[in-house]
Amino acid sequence: MLPELADLLATSRVVSLPMTTRFRGITVREAVLFEGPLGWTEFSPFVEYDDREASAWLHAAIDFGWRRTPTALRDRIPVNATVPAVDADDVPGVLARYSGARTAKVKVAEPGQTLADDVARVRAVREALGPEGRVRIDANALWNLDEAEHAIHALAPFDLEYVEQPCATVDELAELRRRIKYMGIPVAADESVRKATDPLAVARAGAADLLVVKAQPLGGIHSALRIVEEAGLPAVVSSAIDTSVGIAMGAHLAAALPELEFDCGLGTVAMFVDDVSDDPLTPRDGVIPVVRPSVSSRRLDALRADDDRTAWWLDRVRRCHRILERNAAL
């Protein structure tokens, strides 16, 4: 059942978390936290998303705060390090924040940078992790088909685990997968799943070898589990640069998957200067626990967004709640 808007607003806390490194063009991550009957939950769609897309994130917050999570099949989730589009010299410092991580996801195709920058960054990650480490790259759909093929050839010597969302469209992913099949580098779909009106189109088109799933944009844990089951592809659970509360949502999703072949992108609390929990879900020995973290009133106060941003976010909650009400009435 959809909780009343008043119930959401009564416990809402809007926070602003400074980041250690610019990521996705931002240095501060904002979120709304609610305390539901089952604990704290999070609503944090990126600011550029429209209300229709953001409403799925509110549905996810309600799912986690008001509905029991599925049975957990594991109590710890192995996680990867996330390496933003930093200079190669900065890579060791980034990796040091991910205690024990054996896998790194490296951002590539950053606007304003070159393929040479990507090669240097990926080389630095490979050297830091050694031959047994796993290196995956994420282009966030910023290459066209030919650029993607050329870049993957240039980065292949670093023994890539997979390449995430190299191109924007499902057709491009399918064609790229055909072109690079002989190289043995799997293609993962992220934006083509979480931003699509039909998240199963990727699987039907044979456009990916695995799916990257995120609890918030897919409407919550239960919705994401259905998508993975229907797609019939391996899945890696990743974050949307959430606070520890949102990361917990992702950890419960990963815990409920029947198979968990890949390290998950749920170590991103390490990208924040501070967090809403006194015991944040940062990686320790390469894993995070499957728990609901305690939320600190002191930290909520210290990280409180200013009045203008708080009003902006609560207006967004109201609009998205109206969308969910209309959908429920259909």
Q: How many domains does the chain have?
A: 2
**pTM, entire model:** 0.96
User: In this structure, are 207 and 268 located in the same domain?
Assistant: yes
User: In this structure, are 271 and 165 located in the same domain?
Assistant: yes
Q: CATH code at 175?
A: 3.20.20.120
User: In this structure, are 56 and 116 located in the same domain?
Assistant: no
User: In this structure, are 301 and 285 located in the same domain?
Assistant: no
Q: CATH code at 49?
A: 3.30.390.10
User: In this structure, are 211 and 126 located in the same domain?
Assistant: yes
User: In this structure, are 91 and 212 located in the same domain?
Assistant: yes
Q: Residue 208 pLDDT more than 80?
A: yes
Q: Residue 198 pLDDT more than 90?
A: no
Segment 148-163 shows an average pLDDT of 98
Q: How confident is residue 163, by pLDDT bands cut at 50, 70 and 90? A: very high
Q: Residue 330 pLDDT more than 80?
A: no
Per the structure, the complete domain to which residue 178 belongs is given by 76-289
Give the whole-number percent of the chain exceeding pLDDT 70.
100
C-alpha to C-alpha distances, 223 to 179, 214, 226, nearest whole angstrom: 32, 10, 5
User: In this structure, are 199 and 251 located in the same domain?
Assistant: yes
User: In this structure, are 63 and 82 located in the same domain?
Assistant: no
Segment 1-28 shows an average pLDDT of 93
User: In this structure, are 128 and 192 located in the same domain?
Assistant: yes
Q: Are strands 26-36 and 39-43 parallel, antiparallel or unpaired?
A: antiparallel
User: In this structure, are 232 and 194 located in the same domain?
Assistant: yes
User: In this structure, are 89 and 236 located in the same domain?
Assistant: yes
User: In this structure, are 151 and 274 located in the same domain?
Assistant: yes
Query: In b/e form, how buried is each residue of 274-310, taking b as 16+ CB within 10 angstroms?
Result: ebbbeebbbbeebbbebebbebbeebbeebebeeebb
Query: Residues with catalytic annotation?
Result: 107, 214
Q: How confident is residue 145, by pLDDT bands cut at 50, 70 and 90? A: very high
